[in-house]
Amino acid sequence: MKRRILLAVLVATLAALLTLYFLKQAGQHVEVPAPAWQPVEEQPAPVGVEQQPVEQPAGQLEQPLPQRLIIARIEAGEGGRVLVNGSEAAEWSSTSPFTLVLEAVPGRCMVFSVWEVNGTEVRAEPVTTIRVAGNTTVRAFFARPVHRVVVAANASLARASVNGTEHQLPFEAWLPACATLEVEPLETLLLIPLNGSISLAAERDTSITLLYRYRGRGFKAVVLVGGEPQPVEAFEDPYFPNRVTLEVEGEGWMRIRGGGLLLIYIPWNYTRVVVHVRDFAPPPGRDLTVPIAVYRYCEWGADPFAYGVGVPMHWGPTTITFTGCMPQRWNEGIAGRRYEWEQPGTIMVDLSGEARIRIEVYP
């Protein structure tokens, strides 16, 4: 029985296949029956019922997008370093904006100059705070400052060797920080130094005063500036056998006694000098025609020598005015700068006997 059924199925199948073949050859279209399975359409969830998410197979989970990294690079120029939040780390980064506290620390002999942020100068204090919201490069710059150094003296016409070159004091120089001046006071015909050699480092604006004493006797004289007495230096000519005394009296008058050459230093920037003389008296036992003469040393043009123009002053009160070094009247002069104290502006009094003298000076 089974064999008969199987044989019948085979015959029917063969007949169907032959029929399909011949129909295809004849160009007829045949609908193929749908398979027994169909995809199931998703039904909407009932109202009020929470629909559960469908779990994805492992390995198919959504990955978050990577966040951009913000980088700050901190650099220090020559001559210093930079502290960032208290450390010397040169690079900082984060995925969100951040704040940095910067401190520029200059090295020895240097000072902080300026910050540069992404190539642009930013004038800020050495300690500053920045907010970093994007890739940023910050650089600190340092500079070597320049300082003013003055070498002065307690006496006019003093000289010193500064780094091997002789200068009349005061001497002024502008030096880069930590540069050194080697100062050696020099002995002259007029002055003896009281200091030894000094090494002076330019670490800030600095001034020093070297001490000297006169070889001969020095005096404190006065001149009237705007009607007010101002102290100036006076001294004996060291080559002349002086026996001179000087006493300052009231209203700018000075009493001079003895015989010799008295030098009164007046700066050359006082271009007008008025000399008043009174109370002449010759030395005891002598009757001099000209007991006193006054000179002023100066420079004419580019001539490196100083010239003195002398004015004899006779008995009785008298006044002579110098404009520059030229007096209102004169009949003798001396030329040729022989000694260092013959500086422009200096008044020289050639005295034999006694007199009172007052000097007014004007710019």
Question: What's the pTM?
Answer: 0.53
**224 and 311 in a common domain:** yes
**236 and 337 in a common domain:** yes
First to last CA, the chain: 154
**202 and 224 in a common domain:** no
Domain limit, last residue, from 143, 172, 195: 143
**294 and 343 in a common domain:** yes
The identity of residue 278, as a single letter, is R
What's the CA gap between 273 and 276, in Å, rounded?
Answer: 10
Number of domains in the chain: 3
Residue 26 in any domain: the answer is: no
**209 and 276 in a common domain:** no
Residue 274 in any domain: the answer is: yes
What's the CA gap between 143 and 107, in Å, rounded?
Answer: 10
What residue numbers bound the domain in which 337 lies?
218-362
Residue 52 in any domain: the answer is: no
Tens digit of each residue's pLDDT, the chain (363 residues): 556 666 565 656 666 665 555 445 544 443 433 333 233 343 343 333 344 444 555 555 566 656 789 999 999 999 999 999 999 888 999 999 999 999 999 999 999 999 999 999 988 899 999 999 999 999 999 999 999 999 999 887 899 999 999 999 999 999 999 999 999 999 987 889 998 999 988 988 999 999 998 777 778 899 999 999 999 988 887 777 668 889 999 899 999 988 888 889 888 889 899 999 988 887 776 666 667 788 888 765 545 454 555 666 665 678 888 888 777 765 555 555 566 667 778 888 888 888 899 999 999
**310 and 231 in a common domain:** yes
**187 and 288 in a common domain:** no
Residue 234 in any domain: the answer is: yes
CATH assignment of the domain containing 199: 2.60.40.2610
